[in-house]
Amino acid sequence: MSFSRFIQLPENCSGFLAIRNLAREGEAPELTCLVLHGPPGAGKSCLVEALAHELEKAAIAHVLMTAGQFDPEAADGALRQVGWLIIEDLQHLLPFRAEGLSMLLDHRQAHGKFTIMTASRAPHELVCKGDGLPPRLLSRLAQGLTVGLDHWSASSRQLFLQELGRRCQLSLSEETWAWLAENLGGNGRQLESVIRQLQSLSTDHPYNLSFDVVARHFQEQADERRPSVDRIVHKVSGHFGVKARHLQSGKRARQVMLPRQVSMYLARRLTQLSLQQIGAYFGGRDHTTVLHACRKVEQTLAGDADLSFAVRKLQAELQ
């Protein structure tokens, strides 16, 4: 991976610019800490690999590792002295090693050494092996720059597919690329798999890789990804840490009511089901209950940034 081969999209542009500018600053970056966060496949690993490639070309000492490999004892040696340290998947950091990472960041910052990290979520939202990151480590991360990479829109997925298709000499109609982007969803890794399947398909249909051929091949995958109430409830219950069956029960505790209302809200937005059909799924509730839940969530989203982020994330994952 290199910067020249990285595909820029609206959702990853800020991360790309941050990493590229750091590479151009060479051995004397103005910042000493950068955290890239975002969902799997958004481009975090590609960006840090591109950075490592640039550092290697410039013969600049660096270490690329995962947070699960981090060992505080090793931090007393090479990790303190290396010019650039890249740590991926901060969410996999073992809790008892968080203090060691805080001390390492203190030492590196004091000596002008640069550290870049990736994570699945923003540091203050990160759960590390069941626990949130300790305040001391959060404060160290807050002293640097935090850049978020988001889920890709359908138009971005289409741009990504078309660029990879061009590199692989795949010739498809605009309509076909648009259908794939709308119906298959996902980010980089999933879409790279789509390109590999298209390459295989083009071998079987070298002169006729038409819309019908492509749509027929991917129809089952498209059907599996189409939002359904079952998929919505599975995603929402997993996010909120409740059992899916409780959302269909008569339980009215807040830890159940909020995810139930969010599920109804997403079902209303992402499926073609009527209010009555949605209510029937959630324990036989009537349409006025579903309507109230949707309005309640909309009102809450306007004033609750954390819930707004969670709902947008869930919706993006389901589309």
How far is the CA of 266 from the CAs of 120, 246, 248, 281, 294, in angstroms? 23, 17, 15, 13, 8
> Of 45-54, 76-85, 153-162, 272-281, where does mean pLDDT reach its minimum?
76-85
**Boundaries of every domain in the chain:** 3-148, 154-225, 229-318
Question: CB count, 10 Å around CB of 111?
Answer: 11
More confident residue, 159 or 189: 159
Distance CA 313, CA 194 (A): 22
Whether 229-318 and 3-148 are alike in CATH topology: the answer is: no
What average pLDDT does the segment 122-148 reach?
79
Contact 175, 211 (CB under 8 A): yes
Cross-strand partners of 172: none
pLDDT for position 117:
94
pLDDT over 70 percentage in the chain? 95
User: What fold characterizes domain 3-148?
Assistant: Rossmann fold (3.40.50)
Homologous superfamily in CATH for domain 229-318: DnaA protein, C-terminal DNA-binding domain (1.10.1750.10)
pLDDT for position 71:
84
pLDDT for position 180:
94
Task: Name the average pLDDT for the chain.
Answer: 87
pLDDT for position 175:
95
Would you give the distance in Å from CA 54 to the centre of its chain? 24
Indicate the pTM of the whole model: 0.74
Q: What digits encode the pLDDT tens for the residues 69-86?
A: 888 776 567 888 888 999
- For the sheet with 145-148, list strands across it: 62-66, 84-88, 114-119, 33-37, 145-148
